[in-house]
Amino acid sequence: MPIDEVFKAAILAARTLIEKDPAYTRATARLLLHTIRKEILGRETTQAQMGEAYPEYFPRFIKQGIGAELLDEKLAQFDLARLGAALKPERDLQFDYLGLQTLYDRYFLHIDDVRIEMPQAFFMRVAMGLSLNEIDREARAIEFYDVLSTFDFMSSTPTLFNSGTRRSQLSSCYLTTVADDLDGIYEALKENALLSKFAGGLGNDWTRVRALGSYIKGTNGKSQGVVPFLKVVNDTAVAVNQGGKRKGAVCAYLEAWHLDIEEFLELRKNTGDDRRRTHDMNTANWIPDLFMKRVIEGGNWTLFSPSTCPDLHDKFGRAFEEAYTAYEAKVDRGEIKLFKRMPAKDLWRRMLSMLFETGHPWITFKDACNVRSPQQHAGVVHSSNLCTEITLNTSDTEIAVCNLGSVNLAQHLADGAIDQDKLKKTVSTAMRMLDNVIDINYYSVKKARDSNLRHRPVGLGIMGFQDCLYRLRLPYASVEAMEFADRSMEAVCYHAYWASTELAAERGRYTSFRGSLWDRGVLPPDSIDLLAQERGGYVEVDRSGTLDWGALRQRIAANGMRNSNCVAIAPTATISNIIGVDASIEPSFGNLSVKSNLSGEFTVVNEYLVRDLKKLGLWDDVMVMDLKHFDGSLRPIDRVPEELKRLYATAFEIDASWLVEAGARRQKWIDQAQSLNIYMAGASGKKLDEIYKLAWLRGLKTTYYLRTTSATYAEKSTVAPGALNAVPSAASTSAASSASTAMAEPVAEPASDIKFCSIDNPDCEACQ
């Protein structure tokens, strides 16, 4: 038997034991690390020998990558001996099996499928790529390497893929707005194709396109409306897969007053005319405050074609309300013929029922995004992005771009609280890295380059929120957890804005700073007052804070800001797998589950829970089988103490209102938005109505997927140990038989085509 097969057998044997003890995920990672080193170095190398092996290998790796036309030739200009000496081989031991296997299969550079990149060289390569324009490049590369390799911060997947390579496409998200003529529509389709070829997720605003039955002056005919064009967008996303690496990913946004909104709501249905369905793209409602007020107050709602009221698209807040009611008065006088009027509650009910049935369109709020936008002086936010966390202006001349990365919150706890000093240091370095992306990035469309260089927005997010709650012994569904969500997000945002104003002092403020909310001394928490004024009430948000925002305000007044926007919480699905923490701000899906990605099926066990159960003498084979049987839930297992059931409650055991409340506490500090999934067990029309109205009242800008059944499933059979690794999970089995999107993973109820973000989906890194 060849020795390589022996090593593979050892890895397979070890991974089957992960369900017995999560420590085996580290053991399996060490075995995999051994084979990676042997493949790349060509010899057996112990951990002790890596202290000498890494510095010797690193310059050779860079030259080999440049010779194979994989790496940018500029990397050869660095002091490679100094950078090689800075590599820390002990950090290779931090990985769990899922993280290291994901890096090996998807991220490490290879020549003819033979890897040439080892873990610490990977992090240094990314760091070097982000340091190309720095004055002291080596010092900055080492600084960036340290935050990446310690798992304190992680750049988004496009940056990890491409930093330091010859194709420096490092950005995650692009937002466009579509004009109301054929030239504009097909220009938008071309831009989608180009951006999708090289980039991540796309958000398209379709509100300006005239509705079905609208008059076309050029042909004296009538328009077919938005829907036929969205079918073409859907097929373009499928056709232009991102450089052959993953499917294109698009989300279309439409405002709630558009006459085509009812048909738009049904785009994801499995029944009806398939020529008017889009099974491979996402959709989202862009809802003005006036609509929500009419729903709550029991008023009527009028649908218009944008061709008869073109200015509504660019208005928000009170200005929108005044213009909209003026158009309604024109209808009453008979001056507008093409319209439809209905009780607002009826349309709201249809929105929620379609969301429940198909998972789309998502619920996002136009006025909260615009009234609280620091850049409202420079344009209008017409949509969010593919994951609903980006809220940037778009126009005929500007495509919004966002560059993402996330702080690992779990690495910034000390003595039961946020370690402010460490967090400030990490965030300062992370913001510099994100700002550098803007200048180094490759732009396939000029409008995207112009916009990004003018406004310089970035999106710093967080991950490992659930891990923090476990370490602090706080159940997600608790007042204390809401307080932690508030204080931790306040700290991240405060340090991010501080870092941006420091960068402005060093590098200059962004071009369109003058007139922004920053320039006017209005910081994100202050902008809640603006929202309350524009709405005339209907804003119920906790306003407490602990940091010195006055000092920050003075600093910004003196220095300005380097970035128009600084913070956005993306899903972090893939990068959280790499570093081994729970994704983003998500609650845990299950304490024993299977994650599927392109590397296969991975058993994931809650290490915190196992530690607690071992202390109580409760971790045994019967507990493993019980967790399998009950989909990773402790709730039905009688011998588990109630305290642990509360602490380790899974997403569907937490009332959805806690998720909204935590989101509201974060949103008051954030200058963009957050990817906020709503989990609901036993969903009903009444529950949906209450939760999404609560989201609006709490000032949330956007919501993401509605999930009504578990996202991952543990195998329930009582077969031999290790079968959990051998049998595909229920989620991945159903996915294989479904037409999945770039954000896809179906669940069983209530509809077979509900799609999830890449927390479960092997194909997508559209955001992170």
Q: Which of 296, 297, 292, 289 is nearest to 321 (CA)?
A: 289
Q: Which of 166, 119, 168 is nearest to 145 (CA)?
A: 119
Q: Which residues pair with 342 in a beta bridge?
A: 301
Indicate if 173 belongs to the active site: no
> Tokens 């008059």 — which residue?
215
Length of the chain equals 768
- Angle (CA) 223 309 363, round 5°: 85
- Side chain identity at 137, as an amino acid letter? R
402, 438 contact by CB (below 8 A): no
Helix 479-507 vs helix 420-440: angle between axes, to the nearest 10 degrees?
A: 50
Run of H or E residues at 284: strand 282-287
257, 361 contact by CB (below 8 A): no
Catalytic residue among 162, 204, 370, 385: 385
Residue 522: how many other CB atoms lie within 10 Å: 16
Q: Phi first, then psi: give them for residue 683, nearest 5 degrees.
A: -65, 145
Catalytic residue among 173, 387, 566, 764: 387
736, 571 contact by CB (below 8 A): no
- Side chain identity at 289, as an amino acid letter? D
Indicate if 402 belongs to the active site: no
201, 154 contact by CB (below 8 A): no
- Segments in 249-389 forming alpha helices (H): 261-265, 289-297, 317-332, 344-358, 366-371
184, 178 contact by CB (below 8 A): yes
| Nearest-angstrom CA–CA distance, 549 and 556 | 11
202: three-class secondary structure by DSSP: strand
Query: Hey, what are 36's tokens?
Result: 């990676």
42: three-class secondary structure by DSSP: coil
Q: Which of 363, 368, 380 is nearest to 671 (CA)?
A: 368
Helix 656-667 vs helix 685-697: angle between axes, to the nearest 10 degrees?
A: 10
| Nearest-angstrom CA–CA distance, 766 and 768 | 6
Q: Which of 291, 386, 427 is nearest to 757 (CA)?
A: 386
Q: Give CA separation, 50 vs 3, 55, 633, in Å.
A: 21, 9, 42
Run of H or E residues at 341: strand 339-343
| Nearest-angstrom CA–CA distance, 221 and 213 | 9
213, 338 contact by CB (below 8 A): yes
Helix 289-297 vs helix 527-535: angle between axes, to the nearest 10 degrees?
A: 50
- Angle (CA) 639 640 646, round 5°: 150
Dihedral of the alpha carbons of 700, 702, 707, 711, in degrees to the nearest 10: -110
Report, in this order, helix, strand and coil percent for the chain, each rounded to 5. Answer: 45, 10, 40
> Tokens 């790529």 — which residue?
129
Catalytic residue among 143, 389, 607, 745: 389
Q: Which residues pair with 463 in a beta bridge?
A: 408
Indicate if 385 belongs to the active site: yes
Q: Which of 607, 562, 558 is nearest to 582 (CA)?
A: 607
Q: Which of 471, 435, 384 is nearest to 561 (CA)?
A: 435
Query: Hey, what are 525's tokens?
Result: 């928490």
What would you measure as the largest C-alpha separation in the chain, in angstroms?
A: 88
Catalytic residues: 385, 387, 389
